[in-house]
Structure 1
Amino acid sequence: MQNLWDISQPVAPGTPVFPGDTPYQQQWAAKLGPGCPVNVSTLTLSPHVGAHADAPLHYDPEGASIGLVDLAPYLGRCRVIHAIARGPLVTWEHIAHAVHDLPPRVLVRTYARMPVDRWDPMLTAYAPETIERLADAGVRLVGIDTASIDPAESKTLDSHQVIRRRNLRVLENLVLDDVPEGDYELIALPLKLMTADASPVRAVLRSLPPP
């Protein structure tokens, strides 16, 4: 029996978003009752709420929307690496213990417990040099358990620009609290939103079958 880890942040009213971004809201367009056989909701949200995949369009004016990106990076073998409470940036030294024979996807855990109920202005991000070295090692997707691969106050988005230049994909706001270091199968498919700059994902990890 394969184990399954749900690494998606809960999405509901009150789920934290980047300051100034659109929070999750839900209204009822129809409700069960006399003359109405169903409940139908209307959702208003940023595509960056909860666990999500950034599209190249998010950080490149000529980049592809999330509905046009190849799905292959979001599905397959990945490695979870712990770099818990190591400061503002994940450097190569923080993950060097686990970079031997890397699979094409790397997810880094920085929190002991992810703050799913509040915005963290001191979130840990990737050092751009770390992403460069991961790309050099053949990694095609990077993920993190914070809201951004760049510091919250960054205006230059240096790590996003490495992602753009090296044609990598990114997952943010993952919940890795209960996931041991090691290799897994990642399943985190974005929605086919043809004009959007990101998409929520239901991100899960499955244990790999025995060799």
Structure 2
Amino acid sequence: MHAGAPVFPGDTPYSQRWAATIAPGCPVNVSSLTLSPHVGAHADAPLHYDPQGEPVGALDLAPFLGRCRVIHALQPGPLVEWRHLEHAARGLPPRVLVRTYERAPVDRWDPALAAFAPQTVERLADLGVRLVGIDTASIDPAQSKELPSHQVIRRRGLRVLENLVLDGVPEGDYELVALPLKLMTADASPVRAVLRSL
């Protein structure tokens, strides 16, 4: 996260100001942050796409921690379809992260971001996947007003990570650690997503 981190048009970008700085009479630096919880890598809460959904601070952490598979679907076009994933779909763990970019655009907004086809999310859920992640800003197309893939995860009880940076991560299985903050009324939370070798 930084001042130039891209956000959906109209969303609140990251900014930081200093409330106190080290100087005579002040022994510490203290800053204040203003940002959307959707800046950078983040976990959406059901509240983001369901008016009766749970806020992120109430979510069980188990889906955000454990064995996952990174699958490459580089430059799939507007939608990640099942055909882009099936080469790595045998014996899926409960978490699947999809890499669509050769290099994630961490310094600019990409209106042509790749998103999940809702049928792909349905198929992953049918195979026991409980969390899906992607290296774009949304699992739905940027211009979508219906958010069909978000509605699939709502209906099927999946969790989601967006804006991951998977540059240089080989396909394969890892341990994922991507815990959301306990923001008790928020619609999302930043995460520090880490992949560890098994």
- TM bucket (normalised to shorter chain) is over 0.9
Q: For residue 83 of structure 2, what is the amino acid of its counterpart?
A: E
1:68-102: CA deviations, max 9, x gaps?
00000000000000000110000000100000000
Partner of 2:132: 142
**Does 2:165 correspond to 1:153?**
no
Partner of 1:8: none
Partner of 1:94: 84
TM superposition shift of 1:29: 0.5
**Does 2:23 correspond to 1:15?**
no
2-structure distance, mates of 1:36, 1:191: 29
Point out where structure 1 has 5 or more consecutive residues left out of the alignment: 1-10
Secondary structure at 1:189's aligned position in 2?
coil
Partner of 2:24: 34
Equivalent residue in structure 2 for 1:116, among 101, 106, 125: 106
**Does 2:62 correspond to 1:69?**
no
Secondary structure at 2:16's aligned position in 1?
strand
1:140-163: CA deviations, max 9, x gaps?
000000000000000000000000
TM-score (norm 1): 0.93
1-structure distance, mates of 2:77, 2:130: 25
2-structure distance, mates of 1:110, 1:12: 22
2-structure distance, mates of 1:15, 1:175: 12
Partner of 1:5: none
Q: Paired residues, what number?
A: 198
TM superposition shift of 1:184: 0.1
1-structure distance, mates of 2:161, 2:141: 15
Partner of 1:80: 70
Point out where structure 2 has 5 or more consecutive residues left out of the alignment: none
Q: For residue 23 of structure 1, what is the amino acid of its counterpart?
A: P
Partner of 2:163: 173
2-structure distance, mates of 1:115, 1:13: 14
TM-score (norm 2): 1.00
2-structure distance, mates of 1:190, 1:129: 27
Secondary structure at 1:177's aligned position in 2?
coil
Secondary structure at 1:73's aligned position in 2?
helix
TM superposition shift of 1:19: 0.5
2-structure distance, mates of 1:118, 1:71: 30
